[in-house]
Amino acid sequence: MREVYVAGVGMTKFGRSEFKSQLELFGEAAMDAINESNLKPKDIEALFVGNANGDINEGITVLASHAAAEIGLNHVPAIKLEGACSSGTVAIVNAFMWIASGYADIVLASGCERNTVTPTADATRLMNSGNHHRYEAGTGITFPGLFAMMCHMYSHKYNIPLPQLKEYMCMVAMKAHKNGAKNPKAQFQKEITREQYVNSAMIASPLQMFDCCPISDGASAMVVCSKEVAKKLTNKPVQIVGVGQASSGGLSTQKDYSRPIAREISVQKAYKMAGLTPKDINVVELHDCFTIAEIVASEGLGLFDFGTGGQALARGETQIGGRMPINPSGGLKSKGHPVGATGIAQGYEIVNQLRGICGQRQVEGAKIGLTDTLGGPFASIANIIYKRGW
């Protein structure tokens, strides 16, 4: 298997895009990644696009082919990949496989989404389509409702009183906005106070407004290439050393979704491929669609013992400068969550962290980074481990 490297990354600002379509957002991020790689579109041999809802939101099918044409990629294989919120990371995994196998030397992985084009009620219904249409949709479950139930399950399972768990969740929200305030690409670039958190609207008890990530528009892209190509293109190489992916179906097929087993299977694949353990990781971008999700994910990734993620958070271990910095970008909670773009945006942050160019939110000495992306009701989970190159 050949070594696989990242030559360049690109990302739009996340938020509301009133005048740019998802194809235009894609083009912006893709050309930034290509230009940063010192390449031209003609050098790209294949395109993978992570996208969940483009066919419904903007009526575009064969999105990848249209995306290729948007930037002048003529006649290359162009493939759309859909794994709900994990779609972008799944695109990177597939690009990795093409390079590692020797089938291609330079591949563009990208993700895009324009979610704010639909009213909130319709967007909620569309997101809920990730639940099983036969066994779950009829119950009226929403994703805020799902993660609210996770809070109660987690509280009971680990004997953590709900008020204490809420304090931990408040810390997650405040940390996310503190980091997002330092990220010019983030949707929300303003810190919040404990009082703002406590007084925010109740969404699905015990989740309040500041426990939930926003609906967002945006795009991200990554040029993935062989080692031989990377040596010609960049003096700040970042290697993809491990990838993993797993699935769980819907809620009706899972016994305990306070501990998504698919995540543990996926990340262990990545650790094994990389020859690393959780103790080797220096910085993490994980899927904090809701504040409880960060705590649960930090444990499933092996960063903390089960039931202790909140305590580690309270000790400051997940802050920039802490033992295990989590979401220095601001995460989904503050940076935003344009579904198909999220996974590659996580990679964008990790690559730049390993390059040492993240400014005020830089994790000093970061050499190895991990991303974690969750799609649907833990239906699709993918993980990638990045390492600073030669």
Nearest one of 301, 274, 277, 273 to 287, comparing CA atoms: 301
Instruction: Give CA–CA dist 185/35, Å, rounded.
Output: 18
Residue corresponding to tokens 């219904």: 125
- Name the token pair of 212: 């939930």
Determine how many CB atoms are found less than 10 A away from the CB of residue 145. Answer: 16
Which is catalytic among the residues 112, 151, 337, 358?
A: 337
Percent helix, strand and coil across the chain, each to the nearest 5 = 45, 20, 35
Q: Catalytic: which of 85, 212, 213, 225?
A: 85
Tokens of 217: 């528009």
Active site residue 75: no
- Whether 177 is a known active-site residue: answer no
User: How far, in Å, CA of 20 to CA of 218, rounded?
Assistant: 9
- Rounded Cα distance between 236 and 78, Å, is 28
Residue 35: in which H helix or E strand, if any? helix 22-36
Q: Can you say how many angstroms the Cα of residue 41 is from the centroid of all Cα atoms in its chain?
A: 25
Bridge partners of 385, per DSSP, are 242, 370
Which residues are known catalytic residues? Answer: 85, 337
